[in-house]
Amino acid sequence: MTKRILKVAVGGFGAIGKAVAAALDQGIDGLELVAISARDVTKAKAHMSAQFRRSYDVYSLDALATTADVVVECCPAHLLDQVARPTLEAGKVVVVASVGGLLDAPHLKEIAARTGGRILVPSGALLGLDAVQAAAQGRIDSVTIITRKPPASLRGAPAIEKLGLDLDGLTDPVQCFAGSAQDAINGFPANTNVAVALGLAGIGTERTRVEVWADPTVDRNTHSITVMSHSANMTMKIEGIPSEDNPRTGRITPLSVISTLKRLTAPLVIGA
Ligand SMILES: NC(=O)C1=CN([C@@H]2O[C@H](COP(=O)(O)OP(=O)(O)OC[C@H]3O[C@@H](n4cnc5c(N)ncnc54)[C@H](OP(=O)(O)O)[C@@H]3O)[C@@H](O)[C@H]2O)C=CC1
Ligand SMILES: O=C([O-])CC(=O)C(=O)O
């Protein structure tokens, strides 16, 4: 019997999308890149012809599902629905990077339940979601995530604009937010997807406590997590190196997406 090859499309060609597409272009057993989506099509084609083994078709976000079995969403969060809805309506798999966008789109889960489509959320820039989900099968008492980022990684966040914080002038760490993951994502839509993922894995985004710090003393996107539960207490920390393309996004995030894609066809799955 021949192994099934899954056709993959990548929606968004920024820090995550380019890295995921590049890995697929290099060749991953069981997966085939068939299309990408980009806002600037000319730039994307130039990138592919300079950096990739071959060039791939460029589709609009909402058309990716017509050509692929699995669509990777890695575009700005407000476009999540354009990628995910048609993919799920077709009963296919969407891998979501903009996890925060899921909070505004409960209908996506309903569509998936109706059609047999699936929404997969990789660990992204976080760690330990497997253990948090295991603990959530029993009783979790509290979940806290403290995010410290180099000031440049927070540039453009609506909460920073609202605070009027001069990120370039910071010499000491400044707490920019304390509250729930549900609220954090509104102020930091490109910085607290991890907090939303943690909330969805554990006790929900309302009960998951978040702090965000602009910290000129760190050069990594640092997330420290504490979970108190009936089965285990956890303290976890990840120091992600910001990517060259987009300092808001750590280098590990596209690697996490690739790991999720590989597990779709792998004969042995660890940490499932
Ligand atoms: N789950 C997690 O742990 C993490 C999640 N994220 C989230 O993942 C998402 C992607 O992140 P990242 O790759 O860093 O973001 P980038 O901004 O680097 O890339 C997004 C890409 O989408 C493109 N785009 C914009 N509009 C369209 C459109 N209409 N059609 C096709 N493409 C479009 C942008 O093009 P252009 O640049 O030309 O506008 C850009 O290239 C974000 O929502 C981010 O917040 C990020 C880090 C961690
Ligand atoms: O890379 C990171 O540190 C995480 C991030 O931006 C996010 O969760 O949105």
Q: Residue 199's beta-bridge partner residues? A: none
Same domain, residue pair 108 and 157:
no
Phi, psi (5° rounding) for residue 237?
Answer: -140, 135
Measuring CA to CA, which residue among 72, 39, 53 is closest to residue 264? 72
Q: Please report, in range form, the residues annotated as the binding site.
A: 125, 193
Same domain, residue pair 206 and 135:
yes
69 inside domain:
yes
246 inside domain:
no
Closest ligand 1 atom, residue 13 Cα? 41
Ligand nearest the Cα of residue 153 is 2
Same domain, residue pair 15 and 116:
yes
**CATH code of 101's domain:** 3.40.50.720
Measuring CA to CA, which residue among 65, 82, 77 is closest to residue 117? 65
Q: Is 13 touching ligand 1 by the criterion CB < 6 Å?
A: yes
271 inside domain:
no
**CATH code of 183's domain:** 3.30.360.10
Provide the domain count of the chain.
2
Q: How many CB atoms lie within 10 A of CB 121?
A: 20
Same domain, residue pair 98 and 233:
no
What is the span of the domain harbouring residue 166? 129-239
Same domain, residue pair 106 and 205:
no
Same domain, residue pair 176 and 225:
yes
Q: What's the CA gap between 171 and 192, in Å, rounded?
A: 23
Same domain, residue pair 51 and 135:
no
Q: What's the CA gap between 72 and 93, in Å, rounded?
A: 8
Measuring CA to CA, which residue among 85, 117, 86, 114 is closest to residue 101? 85
H/E element, 239: strand 234-240
Instruction: Give Cα 205 to chain centroid, integer Å.
Output: 16
Residue 10 pLDDT more than 80? yes
244 inside domain:
no
Q: Is 196 touching ligand 1 by the criterion CB < 6 Å?
A: no
pLDDT at 237: 98
Same domain, residue pair 218 and 163:
yes
Residues 44, 58: contact at Cβ < 8 Å?
Answer: yes
List the residue whose alpha carbon is closest to atom 5 of ligand 2.
191
Residues 256, 125: contact at Cβ < 8 Å?
Answer: yes
List the residue whose alpha carbon is closest to atom 7 of ligand 2.
191
pLDDT at 4: 83
Same domain, residue pair 221 and 145:
yes
3-state secondary structure of 37: strand
Measuring CA to CA, which residue among 80, 86, 31 is closest to residue 64? 86
pLDDT at 2: 67
Same domain, residue pair 114 and 218:
no
pLDDT tens-digit map of 189-210: 999 999 999 999 999 999 999 9
Q: What ipTM was assigned to the predicted interfaces of this complex? A: 0.97
Q: What's the CA gap between 178 and 166, in Å, rounded?
A: 19
Ligand nearest the Cα of residue 13 is 1
pLDDT tens-digit map of 214-252: 999 999 999 999 999 999 999 999 999 989 888 888 999
